Amino acid sequence: MANNLKKHPLNSTGKFFCTGYDDLLGEGCIACGLCYQQAPNHFKEDENGYAYVYKQPSSSAEEKLCLEQLNICPVNAIGM
């Protein structure tokens, strides 16, 4: 489960978030690229390749897409 105490500082305010790479519990982003390749309108990569939520979903279809990214994240770095 993503650590909501270690959110990436670039996350947009809202329901979804990415955990920063420095999460000592081992649930931080590993820069695999899945979320920002699959949902580039919602997830972006910082200068080091780590993901953050760029835009929160504004429709049920967008929320479904963000939930899919949450479910496929290999290290559970996406939370809500």
Examine the pLDDT at 20 and tell me if it is beyond 90: no
Instruction: Provide the CATH number for the domain around residue 39.
Output: 3.30.70.20
- Could you tell me if residue 62 is inside a domain? yes
Which H/E stretch holds residue 8? none
| pLDDT for res 24 | 65
Examine the pLDDT at 23 and tell me if it is beyond 70: no
Which H/E stretch holds residue 17? strand 17-18
Token pair recorded at residue 18:
């990415």
| pLDDT for res 43 | 98
Residue numbers of the domain that contains 58: 17-79
Taking the C-alpha atoms of residue 77 and residue 62, their distance in angstroms, rounded to an integer, is 19
- Could you tell me if residue 6 is inside a domain? no
Q: Are 79 and 71 in contact (CB under 8 A)?
A: no
39-62 pLDDT, tens digit per residue, is 999 999 999 999 999 999 999 999
- Could you tell me if residue 1 is inside a domain? no
- Could you tell me if residue 58 is inside a domain? yes
| pLDDT for res 73 | 96
Domain count, the chain: 1
Which H/E stretch holds residue 61? helix 60-72
Taking the C-alpha atoms of residue 25 and residue 59, their distance in angstroms, rounded to an integer, is 32
